[in-house]
Structure 1
Amino acid sequence: MGSAASTDAKKELEGKSVEEIAAALKELPAADLAKVKEALNAGAGPCPGPVDCSTVKVVAKDYKGLLAQPAEPKFKGALAQIFVRSQPYGGSDKSNNGHRYDSIPFANGMITAGMSCQLIHYTHEEHDKFFELCKAFNFIIVRCNPGQIKADGGDQQKFDDGMRAMRKAGIQ
């Protein structure tokens, strides 16, 4: 779909109610409906927001419940998490989507206050990429349970040193 086609599709949807959109979707052929579903699920790629997070591995299954990021955020933020690959759901603090159970509400609070808050995951194999990405944010909220970085094969001290470097760089 070119930019003109996507602009036309956007114009068709603007101002429509949920019921009107649902009725239109019911009329689509199965193949086209599958494309719509695929496009909607594309949001499960790199964390949605103003900072391009495609340099690090996407761990989360989806971002359901996350509010839309502000177009012009007061500050650009990230909420850093760890997913323990050897544990069910990534750890006892995780929901089935791979995020901590409280990550979406935390991020939504930041978004409601006019800041962006993107949900990112630390993987020790991508330590350097992760901290390079962190430089693009104004703040980082660390939500990693004690012991989980080590349980996933990482080095807690190395992670902590990386976060201290962010702090020295002015990223709170």
Structure 2
Amino acid sequence: MVKHIKNSNVIFGTFLAIGLIGAGYEAYQIHHITKVNQTVAAGQLVTDDAYPYLQKFTAAYDQGNKKDYKHAVQTYGQLLETQPSLHDQAKIQYNIGNNLFVFGLIRRINDDGTLQDEARYAYTQAKMAYEQSLRIEPQDRAAKFNLSLLHSVMANNMKPAPKDQSTMELSNLPIGLP
């Protein structure tokens, strides 16, 4: 009987040690995740290599806040290549649309009132990004609002700026069709 009690104590002691080690590991993980969440909530960059998605997302968001819209769009595009979840894809597309929309707003118009090519391109790309976001999450009110705002800003008949017709010839063939 005494031997049976000793064996039971050894088994339960082993379970207790394993449980304490597991609880300590979980406490460490919770502390680490809480620290990352506080960094994200404070709007700071995530520098922890254990969270590459958050690290890249916060870097792209920070680039957009610093008015570096082209690099922000590139960084968000790199995030799309990592095959995130559908919800995250919708968020990324929404943020791409926002950066392109603002980039188009800061572009100037030409002297004749037409949009610069960069602004036209940015608006077109922003429209596609918002539409892609809405294909993934059709109930996203922010994306719907921004898309309708973009439509109100875009000219109905966005015509390209007139191009100079060049008469330069290559190999005795004129440029363009006769």
Larger % of strand: which?
A: 1
TM-score scaled by structure 1? Answer: 0.26
TM-score scaled by structure 2? Answer: 0.25
Task: Return the index of the structure with the highest Cα Rg.
Answer: 2
Structure possessing the higher relative contact order (Cα contacts under 8 Å, 6 or more residues apart): 1
Larger % of helix: which?
A: 2
